[in-house]
Amino acid sequence: MTPTASLPVVALISGRGSNLAAILSDAQQADSPYQLAAVISNRPDAQGLKLAQAAGVATAVLDHRAFPDRDHFDQALQTLIDGYQPGLVVLAGFMRLLTPAFVCHYQGRLLNIHPSLLPQFRGLHTHAQALAAGVQEHGASVHFVVPELDAGPVVLQAKVPVCRDDTPESLAARVLVQEHRIYPQAIRWFATGRLRLTAGQAYLDNAPLQQPV
């Protein structure tokens, strides 16, 4: 892709927006190569909408409950997103499974952050899964989104140790700190043209990523 001085980014959220807050803060830095064009939520009561509005970012709500099925919702969501002409769409706690047609429309410009060291512990309740499995390391992964859940190429990870007395909540809090660090970094890489997805392969600085950074 061609680097741009200010890549327009649309963020999708469903809840409190803690990753969104980190992205908003990074986008406001003087050297940021991207800007948040809009924040869209499928839940009218999502706290992240207030964060975006306080930062002067456009917001929109598209309540999934108003649609008969996933396909109709995703079609309307796609239309809404495209109205902002984003160069990148980021999932920041967006708690909806996306249809293959939606994912393919944004192929190569759709990122997600997942609270595990993928390919370990896909899906929900990752911190409880990690504790049940008895792993010594846990963490977070930024990956390109593909139709299969949490299966896209992973570009950046951060690890944290799992402590003997951890609960899912204490482990989640430690992982969240790392999520806030690595998600803006990956967005910056994309916005400056360093990160791309071509034919299912992630590239960083024109070199194929054989494993996550």
In our burial notation (b when 16+ CB lie closer than 10 A, e otherwise), range 93-104 reads bbebebbeebbe
pLDDT at position 125, please? 96
Contact 186, 7 (CB under 8 A): no
What CATH architecture is 7-197? 3-Layer(aba) Sandwich (3.40)
Q: What is the pLDDT of residues 111-166, one digit of tens each?
A: 999 999 999 999 999 999 999 999 999 999 999 999 999 999 999 999 999 999 99
φ, ψ of residue 170 to 5 degrees: the values are: -70, -35
pTM above 0.85, yes or no: yes
CA angle at 175 for the pair 63 and 98, rounded to the nearest 5°: 30
Domain boundaries, the chain: 7-197
Contact 184, 26 (CB under 8 A): yes
Q: Which residues of the chain fall short of a pLDDT of 50?
A: 1-4
Q: What is the pLDDT of residues 158-170, one digit of tens each?
A: 999 999 999 999 9
What's the maximum distance between 2 C-alpha atoms anywhere in the chain?
49
Active site residues: 114
